């Protein structure tokens, strides 16, 4: 389990992450969603003890990362697949990494086999394609057979086959009861992989929910209503707890279904000229949710 409590990070005058709190539970894939520059990588680096938080803290099963005795046995992470010396072989890279946490040397060949790199294990990592580098990064994350796994944008730049492989791998790891925390800036990707979603924008938490809750909430539709007795209808709708935006004879109503609105109008004897449910796409909803939270948005 990963607990993040009031985590914040400032670089000079810019705030990358502010007062972030959430919990990542075992046995499911938790997506970490947000646009580029939202603070996902910074948060992951702070969880892993690489960057020092300006405020708050992150705990792995109740312990700060830096106090873990053999961290790789507890937490495996893939932050950047290019963090490998190009002139060192894949096998040697894993060999030194295994030694740091006293992992049996046999583990190196096991994980190489698991990610399908056995054939190129003695080749220099600098010559690897992005897909192979990503596999090597995943091999280093799996090396200590950890209960907690963090992946930062693991499918970026991969071909469909590679993407499918990583999705399957993450689901499998979660099924084994591990905590799997995956970041992405693509909602479509997350909706296919994750069970739960933590959404951030501009370093702040936007929501934590299951994927289906998020989708329902994000695409929660509004209803366009046109009526000659718009004032009377609006009063009735607000009384029912709906949100109403007025634009001349047209109302955009949130919080009630079209059926409920129709019945309400009938009960109050209001004539309707139009009753039109509006449903946004998932991506649209996501963009709206993180809108203003987009750091490098094009306007």
Partner 1 sequence: MNLLAVERIKLFSTRSPWFCMIGALGLTVGFASILAIKSEHVSVGATQGMYLLGLMVVMVMSTLAVTTEYRFGTIRTTFQAVPRRTGALLAKTTVVALVAGLVGEVAAFGSLGAAKLLQPGAALSLSTAADWRAVAGSGLVYALAGVMAVAVGVLVRQSAGAVAILLVVPLLVENLVGLIPDLGAKIQPWLPFQAAGAFLRGTHEGAPYSPWGALAYFAVLAAVLLGAALVVAKKRDA
Interface residues with partner 1 (CB under 8 A) are: 45, 48-52, 65-68, 71-72, 77, 79-80, 82-89, 92-93, 95-97, 99-102, 140
Report, in Å, the least distance between residue 75 CB and partner 1.
Answer: 8
Nearer to partner 1, 81 or 256 (CB): 81
Separation between Cα atoms, residue 103 and residue 106, nearest integer Å:
8
Nearer to partner 1, 17 or 225 (CB): 17
Nearer to partner 1, 45 or 167 (CB): 45
Strands (E) across 69-110 are located at 75-78
Do 227 and 248 contact (CB within 8 A), yes or no?
no
Report, in Å, the least distance between residue 137 CB and partner 1.
Answer: 9
Report, in Å, the least distance between residue 122 CB and partner 1.
Answer: 11
Nearer to partner 1, 101 or 118 (CB): 101
Burial class (CB in 10 A: 0-12, 13-18, 19+), 292: exposed
Do 285 and 278 contact (CB within 8 A), yes or no?
no
Residue 51 φ then ψ, to 5°: -110, 145
Separation between Cα atoms, residue 57 and residue 21, nearest integer Å:
9
Interhelix angle 90-100/130-142, rounded to 10 degrees, is 20
Q: What angle do CA 108, 109, 114 make, to 5 degrees?
A: 100
Nearer to partner 1, 92 or 109 (CB): 92
Separation between Cα atoms, residue 80 and residue 54, nearest integer Å:
23
Nearer to partner 1, 44 or 230 (CB): 44
């Amino acid at each position: 389990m990963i607990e993040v409590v009031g985590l914040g990070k400032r670089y000079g005058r810019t705030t990358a992450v502010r007062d972030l709190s959430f919990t990542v539970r075992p046995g499911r894939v938790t997506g970490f969603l947000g646009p580029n520059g939202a603070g996902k990588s910074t948060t992951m680096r702070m969880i892993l003890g690489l960057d020092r938080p300006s405020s708050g803290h992150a705990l792995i099963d109740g312990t700060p990362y830096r106090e873990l005795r053999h961290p790789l046995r507890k937490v495996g992470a893939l932050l950047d697949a290019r963090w490998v010396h190009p002139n060192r072989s894949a096998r040697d890279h894993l060999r030194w990494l295994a030694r740091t946490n006293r992992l049996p040397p046999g583990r190196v060949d096991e994980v190489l086999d698991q990610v399908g790199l056995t054939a190129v294990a003695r080749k220099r990592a600098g010559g690897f394609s992005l897909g192979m580098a990503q596999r090597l990064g995943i091999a280093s994350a799996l090396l200590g057979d950890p209960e907690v796994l963090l992946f930062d944008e693991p499918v970026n730049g991969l071909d469909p086959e590679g993407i499918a492989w990583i999705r399957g791998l993450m689901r499998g790891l979660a099924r084994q009861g591990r905590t799997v925390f995956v970041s992405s800036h693509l909602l479509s990707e997350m909706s296919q992989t994750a069970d739960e979603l933590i959404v951030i924008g501009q370093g702040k938490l936007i929501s934590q929910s299951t994927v289906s809750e998020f989708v329902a909430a994000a695409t929660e539709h509004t209803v366009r209503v046109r009526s000659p007795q718009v004032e009377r209808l609006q009063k009735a709708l607000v009384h029912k707890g709906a949100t109403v935006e007025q634009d001349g004879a047209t109302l955009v109503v949130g919080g009630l279904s079209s059926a409920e609105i129709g019945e309400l109008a009938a009960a109050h004897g209001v004539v309707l000229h139009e009753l039109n449910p509006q449903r946004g796409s998932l991506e649209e909803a996501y963009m709206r949710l993180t809108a203003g939270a987009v750091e490098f948005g094009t306007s």
